[in-house]
Amino acid sequence: MIKKLLLLPFLVLLFGSPASAQDISGSWSWNSKEGGNMFTLDLIETTEDNFRGNHCSVYLHGNRIDCSDNKEEFSIVLIRKAENIFQGSIRSGYSSAIGNVQLQYLPEDNTMLFSLKTAPEGEYYMPVEARLIRN
């Protein structure tokens, strides 16, 4: 019995624990209910707990586009702050101004909540809040 109890911590380390790091790399998207607006994020993990990527927003049925023109530079930079919580900055492709964002990964339904905490100055086109699905 004692050997089994001593083996338990080893097995948790070997097979991972529920609190293991979540990889949010990949493509995520949101479409407004009325269908006139869409928002996408493409994220990659650059180092442990750091993610970078690009966003693209198409608003007003395509009349306003807020995307990163330069694929060499990332428009969104995120750092894991807590389990499934990521915070960072987003640069508008429309005004080049920077805002602050938070993403919360929801593992139970494999979606992510996007929240624009501080809007970029000037004109920008992206949701203030959105539930993104993984593509």
At residue 23, the pLDDT reads 87
At residue 1, the pLDDT reads 54
Q: Which of 15-24, 33-42, 57-66, 106-115 has the lowest mean pLDDT?
A: 15-24
Quick: pLDDT tens for 79-100.
Answer: 999 999 999 999 999 999 999 9
125 vs 69: which has the higher pLDDT? 125
At residue 37, the pLDDT reads 98
At residue 2, the pLDDT reads 54
Residue type, position 106, single letter:
L
Nearest alpha-carbon partner for 28 in 98, 127, 119: 127
Give domain limits for the chain: 42-135
pLDDT value at 21 more than 80: no
Dist. CA 27–CA 104, nearest whole Å: 15
pLDDT value at 41 more than 50: yes
H helical segments located in the chain: 2-15
Structure tokens at 71: 């694929």
- Phi, psi (deg, nearest 5) at residue 94: -85, -45
Q: Is 7 exposed, middle or buried (0-12, 13-18, 19+ CB in 10 A)?
A: exposed
